[in-house]
């Protein structure tokens, strides 16, 4: 029984019958070169991604990531390390550098010429704070990508990897940072692109070793030194992302605790909290409570302080905004309710906008997948006719 189970598991995870090492080798080597149509395709993808970031349009950004040819040199970099091919390694690095240079220059030029300036460019800002989670996305995206290239029957995995690892938007954000002379944006986005590139390459390297691709050169001192240098670079890259992830988790927990504190203490004495805001830039982070009704007594405030401490929020992190109480003692209940309803309407509108944006993204993804499937079917038919 144990033998049958073992054989079943082995057959389930075995890759030997599903990979085409020679075909993958040829495909990777062909796609690292950045000339001819790829140059124009990259320029188009960069402009599309820049427009998408400029107008905060997720579907447009996704489309740009599907168009972009940036994955080739990165996979070539990891592949060359795995098969110990020095010339391929040099070609991959050179082509990757050209690609990065063209991308940053094109996006910077676009943002310099674009008349549109967003007050809160959320999609751009999202590319400036990489964390350990971005490392995980790039690593497992890289595994999926190289396995897709290595298997005999190709699917649509590479399209998903291109979207998940998001190589284009960070480069566009670097261009934006240069255009507005914001070096924090430049460094943060470059770091995110570096994380994505290095860990996609690492996943490729590991998979190439696991699948036993034939080596081009014998292992020597230079190869071992190269591997040691890569390991050191990986450690240096991961460390800042871990700290960034810890900070984001703390900020998320603080926001969650603030929301719970407010929801469970809406009414305090004869006053109530009609709105609140969180300031994470303050040291320490603070919560502003916007009060209405009668002014809180010292006893009511003390009770709220005690409730806050249950969530790890100290006294000096709470700020009371009682303008609605102090400015007009005769404020009516109708006016208070109207203010609350107006605030609720704004929140509902934001939710509708988010849902609409997500629906657009799903529609674009479905269309892209259908087009990719049609192309694959046509490619298979062509191959069968040639045979």
137-151, 328-342, 344-358: the lowest-pLDDT one: 328-342
The residues, ordered by sequence, that sit 6+ positions from 207 with a Cβ below 8 Å of its Cβ are 82, 142, 143, 146, 147, 150
Are residues 52 and 64 in contact, defined by beta-carbon separation less than 8 angstroms?
A: yes
Sorted by where each begins, the domain ranges of the chain are: 17-217
Q: Which region holds residue 56: left if phi is over 0, alpha if psi is between -120 and 50, else beta?
A: left
Q: What is the per-residue pLDDT across 302-342, written as a single tens digit (0 to 9) for each? A: 888 888 888 888 888 888 877 655 444 444 555 555 555 55
pLDDT value at position 126? 61
- Would the pTM of this model clear 0.75, i.e. be above it? no
Helix then strand then coil, in percent of the chain rounded to 5, is 75, 5, 20
- Tokens (6 digits) for 377: 């079917």
Q: What is the per-residue pLDDT across 198-233, written as a single tens digit (0 to 9) for each? A: 888 888 888 888 888 887 766 666 666 666 676 677
Three-class SS state of 321: strand
pLDDT value at position 274? 75
- Average pLDDT score, the chain: 77
Q: What is the per-residue pLDDT across 41-51, written as a single tens digit (0 to 9) for each? A: 888 888 888 88
pLDDT for 243 beyond 70:
yes
pLDDT value at position 264? 81
Length of the chain: 387
Architecture of domain 17-217: Up-down Bundle (1.20)
pLDDT value at position 53? 79
- pLDDT band for position 11 (cuts 50, 70, 90): low
pLDDT value at position 333? 53
Which whole number is the average pLDDT over 135-162? 78
pLDDT value at position 357? 75
Q: What is the DSSP string of 255-303?
A: HHHHHHHHHHTSEETTEEEEEEEEESSSSS-EEEEEEEESPPPHHHHHH
pLDDT for 347 beyond 50:
yes
Which whole number is the average pLDDT over 334-351? 60
Q: What is the per-residue pLDDT across 269-314, written as a single tens digit (0 to 9) for each? A: 777 777 788 887 778 888 888 877 777 778 888 888 888 888 888 8
Q: What is the per-residue pLDDT across 70-98, written as a single tens digit (0 to 9) for each? A: 788 888 888 888 888 888 888 888 888 88
- pLDDT band for position 123 (cuts 50, 70, 90): low
Residue closest to 295 by CA, chosen among 320, 262, 313, 274: 320
pLDDT value at position 330? 46
Q: What percent of the chain has pLDDT over 70?
A: 76
* 370 against 177, higher pLDDT: 177
* 66 against 95, higher pLDDT: 95
Parallel, antiparallel or unpaired: strands 318-321 and 286-293: parallel
Are residues 44 and 67 in contact, defined by beta-carbon separation less than 8 angstroms?
A: yes
pLDDT for 125 beyond 70:
no
Query: What Rg, from alpha-carbon coordinates, does the chain have?
Result: 27
Distance CA 330, CA 332 (A): 6
């Amino acid at each position: 029984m144990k033998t049958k189970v073992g054989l079943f598991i082995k057959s389930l995870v075995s890759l030997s019958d599903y990979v085409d090492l020679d075909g993958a080798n040829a495909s990777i080597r062909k796609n690292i070169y950045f000339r001819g149509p790829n140059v124009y395709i990259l320029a188009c993808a960069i402009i599309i991604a820049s427009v998408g970031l400029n107008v905060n349009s997720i579907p447009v950004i996704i489309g740009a990531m599907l168009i972009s040819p940036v994955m080739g040199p990165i996979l070539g970099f990891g592949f060359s390390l795995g098969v110990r091919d020095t010339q391929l390694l040099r070609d991959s690095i050179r082509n990757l550098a050209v690609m990065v240079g063209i991308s940053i220059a094109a996006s910077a030029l676009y943002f310099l010429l674009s008349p549109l300036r967003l007050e809160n460019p959320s999609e751009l800002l999202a590319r400036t704070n990489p964390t350990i989670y971005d490392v995980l996305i790039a690593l497992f995206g890289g595994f999926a990508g190289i396995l897709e290239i290595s298997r005999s029957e190709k699917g649509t995995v590479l399209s998903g990897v291109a979207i998940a690892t998001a190589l284009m938007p960070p480069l566009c954000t670097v261009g934006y940072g240069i255009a507005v002379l914001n070096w924090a944006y430049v460094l943060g986005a470059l770091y995110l692109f570096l994380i994505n590139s290095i860990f996609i390459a690492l996943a490729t390297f590991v998979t190439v070793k696991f699948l036993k691709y034939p080596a081009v050169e014998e292992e020597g001192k230079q190869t071992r030194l190269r591997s040691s240098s890569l390991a050191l670079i990986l450690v240096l890259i991961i460390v800042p992302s871990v700290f960034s992830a810890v900070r984001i988790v703390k900020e998320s927990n603080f926001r969650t605790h603030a929301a719970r504190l407010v929801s469970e203490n809406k009414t305090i004495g004869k006053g109530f909290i009609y709105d609140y805001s969180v300031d994470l830039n303050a040291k320490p982070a603070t919560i502003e409570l916007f009060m209405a009704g009668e002014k809180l007594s010292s006893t009511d405030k003390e009770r709220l302080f005690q409730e806050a401490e249950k969530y790890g929020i100290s006294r000096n992190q709470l700020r009371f905004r009682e303008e609605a109480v102090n400015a007009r003692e005769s404020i009516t209940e109708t006016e208070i309710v109207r203010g609350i309803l107006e605030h609720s309407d704004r929140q509902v509108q934001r939710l509708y906008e988010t849902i609409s944006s997500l629906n657009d993204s799903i529609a674009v993804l479905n269309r892209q997948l259908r087009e990719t499937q049609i192309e694959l079917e046509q490619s298979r038919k062509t191959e069968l006719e040639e045979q």
